[in-house]
Amino acid sequence: MCVVRDLVKTYPASRGRRGAPGTPEVRATDRVRLDIRRGEIFGLLGPNGAGKSTLVRQLTGLMRPDSGAVEILGHDIVRHPERAARILAYLGQESSALDELTVSLAAETTARLRGLELRAARAARDTVLEELGLTALASRPLARLSGGQRRLACVAAALVGERPLLVLDEPTTAMDPIARRAVWAAIDRRRAEHGTTVLLVTHNVIEAETVLDRVAVLDRGRVIACDTPGGLKERVAGEVRVELVWRERAPLDIPEVAALRSSATLHGRRWVLRLAPDEARAAVAAVTGGAAFAALDDFTLATPSLEDVYLALGGSDTAAEGLVKL
Ligand SMILES: Nc1ncnc2c1ncn2[C@@H]1O[C@H](COP(=O)(O)OP(=O)(O)OP(=O)(O)O)[C@@H](O)[C@H]1O
């Protein structure tokens, strides 16, 4: 469906102006290889600046790579970037192009631009607005909607016209759980009924885990792992995830707590540790048995999630070397 080979894009260094420092050259995608199969929901996961948007812009024909190949449904997108618009629907992070239109017109116009006759475009519009729970907002301009509603209207425009490939950059940003569920159901329906393929850019690892068939983890422009969520999780199997939530702050004056700090990922009051089972038992005994217990609000023990894999892989491409399974 979509084949990417050795895709490279380097942003040139810029000179600083008026004494401001310049920026060095950035290799945003570094020999990226991907094979996305028909009907797959394929995720691109990676920290800020990993190169996800740059990669997606090259796949959608919006940016020319320095070198490498992109083939979608047999079309060479590097040589013929204009063909991308006929094959795929792209939902970027910005909606400004549609902002002046009403929800209804945004969906209808997009359907017309994708080649539907007027009557078919209106029918497609009504179906997608109904499907996403947007009918009551149909006559409102996008600029006068809440952030989540506007995002939902943009998803509606992306879905209309049944493109075989949907490229969605953080589609559910700012949406409430009901809207999110409607979006995932609409995507799933297209996959079941039309064999639609979805390339999804996301930071939301928890959401991603439930919807993705396969995931590529990108770090500093390189694919450092590519597998099913289950396959990725097996790589950290044997570890236990320990989550500690402190009432106010961690009592670092207690040596057992201070000792755990260096191996924990800290999120304010919440500490996340990945430990071998016997270490996890010892850690829980230390924080629940002694003086630390009074400072503890909650703790959980769990098997690893995709988030643990993400944290384990992200930023350490030497550790992940050899994990790529395409
Ligand atoms: N126009 C540009 N000029 C120079 N460098 C750029 C430009 N756009 C992006 N970069 C750099 O290229 C790298 C990849 O950026 P990109 O936007 O593709 O990352 P991302 O994974 O999409 O990040 P985010 O999750 O924050 O959206 C980053 O180091 C970024 O600073």
Assigned domain for 34 exists: yes
Assigned domain for 317 exists: no
Report yes or no: 179 and 132 within 8 Å, Cβ to Cβ. Answer: yes
For residue 216, the model assigns a pLDDT of: 92
Q: Per residue in 66-83, is it b (16+ CB within 10 Å) or e — as a string? A: eebebebbebebbeebee
**Which of these three, 181, 198, 228, is where a domain ends?**
228
Q: What is the ipTM of this complex?
A: 0.97
Residues 67 and 213 in one domain: yes
For residue 324, the model assigns a pLDDT of: 38
The answer to whether the Cα torsion of 124, 87, 221, 237 is positive or negative is positive
For residue 274, the model assigns a pLDDT of: 87
Cα of 286 from ligand 1 centre, angstroms = 43
Residues 57 and 26 in one domain: yes
Q: Residue 268 maps to which CATH number?
A: 3.30.70
Low-confidence residues of the chain: pLDDT under 50: 315-326
Cα of 248 from ligand 1 centre, angstroms = 36
Q: Residue 221 maps to which CATH number?
A: 3.40.50.300
For residue 265, give its domain range: 238-303
Give CA–CA dist 245/296, Å, rounded.
Answer: 6
Assigned domain for 313 exists: no
Residues 147 and 261 in one domain: no
Nearest CA to ligand 1 atom 17: 53
Give CA–CA dist 77/97, Å, rounded.
Answer: 23
| Mutate which of 44, 53, 63, 66 for ligand 1 pocket (most atoms within 8 A of beta carbon) | 53
Assigned domain for 199 exists: yes
Residues 126 and 223 in one domain: yes
Give CA–CA dist 182/188, Å, rounded.
Answer: 10
Estimate the crossing angle of helix 147-159 against helix 177-194, to 10 degrees.
10
Nearest CA to ligand 1 atom 6: 11
Is the shortest distance between the CB of 12 and ligand 1 below 6 Å? no
Residues 88 and 33 in one domain: yes
Residues 76 and 214 in one domain: yes
Is the shortest distance between the CB of 63 and ligand 1 below 6 Å? no
**Which of these three, 228, 251, 277, is where a domain ends?**
228
For residue 325, the model assigns a pLDDT of: 32
Residues 186 and 249 in one domain: no
Assigned domain for 324 exists: no
Residues 52 and 112 in one domain: yes
- The whole-model pTM stands at 0.79
Q: How many helices (H) and strands (E) does the chain have?
A: 12, 14
* Total structural domains within the chain: 2
Cα of 9 from ligand 1 centre, angstroms = 11
Assigned domain for 279 exists: yes
Give CA–CA dist 81/264, Å, rounded.
Answer: 46
Task: Please name which of 217, 284, 223 lies closest in space to residue 68, comparing C-alpha atoms.
Answer: 223
Backbone angles phi, psi at 221, to 5 degrees: 80, -5
Residues 280 and 204 in one domain: no
Residues 243 and 193 in one domain: no
Is the shortest distance between the CB of 304 and ligand 1 below 6 Å? no
Nearest CA to ligand 1 atom 12: 28
Assigned domain for 54 exists: yes
Residues 213 and 249 in one domain: no
Query: pLDDT tens digit string along 216-226?
Result: 989 889 998 89
Give CA–CA dist 134/125, Å, rounded.
Answer: 10
Residues 70 and 207 in one domain: yes
Assigned domain for 166 exists: yes
For residue 317, the model assigns a pLDDT of: 38
Element (H, E) at 166: strand 165-169
Atom of ligand 1 nearest to the CA of 221: 14
Is the shortest distance between the CB of 48 and ligand 1 below 6 Å? yes
Is the shortest distance between the CB of 53 and ligand 1 below 6 Å? yes
Contacts of 5 (CB under 8 A, 6+ apart): 33, 68, 69, 70
